[in-house]
Amino acid sequence: METSRILFIHGSESNGQTYKAQALRKTFPGLVSPDFTGPLAVRMAQMESIVKDDNGWTLVGSSLGGLMAALFATQHPGQVCRLVLLAPALNLPEFSRRLPKPVNIPTLLIIGKKDDVIPGEAVRRLAKQVFPKLTYLSVDDDHRLHYTADRLDWKALLG
């Protein structure tokens, strides 16, 4: 997979240089990891301007970035070949109020057992309804996944 086709989407209180992006960049130096700002609609427009009409993207989204990745994948399934959702905010109404139609994109969902920001089991159930090709990984970590991000075998997960 071309590294230029991996987009990291950070959470609301983070930026494109977060430790998760740095951990990914060690394996994939061409990782695209911009800063997203503003409300969700503005961030989605920023992401769409990066992805454009290109296909073959792997989207790695953390927290609010996970929500963004999931929303984009359900709206543009032909452009996304893989999703990695890190403690995604799928419990927010933008996703959970009207569940999108299922899409057959291989999806890895990683949630920390000590996450006190998102309701892990509820998010897992929502993700399974929309992404039937879901693999779920529960890790001994909190919402930010500080411990996990540097220890995952990103090449095996995304390569």
**Alpha carbon of residue 15 to chain centroid:** 14
List beta partners, residue 58. 6, 82
State the alpha helices, DSSP H only, in 64-153: 64-75, 93-96, 120-130, 146-149
Question: How does pLDDT run along the chain (159 residues), one tens digit per residue?
Answer: 444 599 999 999 999 999 999 999 999 999 999 999 999 999 999 999 999 989 999 999 999 999 999 999 999 999 999 999 999 999 999 998 888 899 999 999 999 999 999 999 999 999 999 999 999 999 999 999 999 999 999 999 887
Return d(Cα 125, Cα 79) in angstroms, integer.
24
Which pTM value belongs to this model? 0.94
Q: What share of the chain is helix, strand, coil (3-state, %, to 5)?
A: 40, 20, 40
> In CATH terms, is domain 3-158 a member of 3.40.50.1820?
yes
Question: Any idea where the domains of the chain sit in the sequence?
Answer: 3-158
Return d(Cα 89, Cα 110) in angstroms, integer.
12
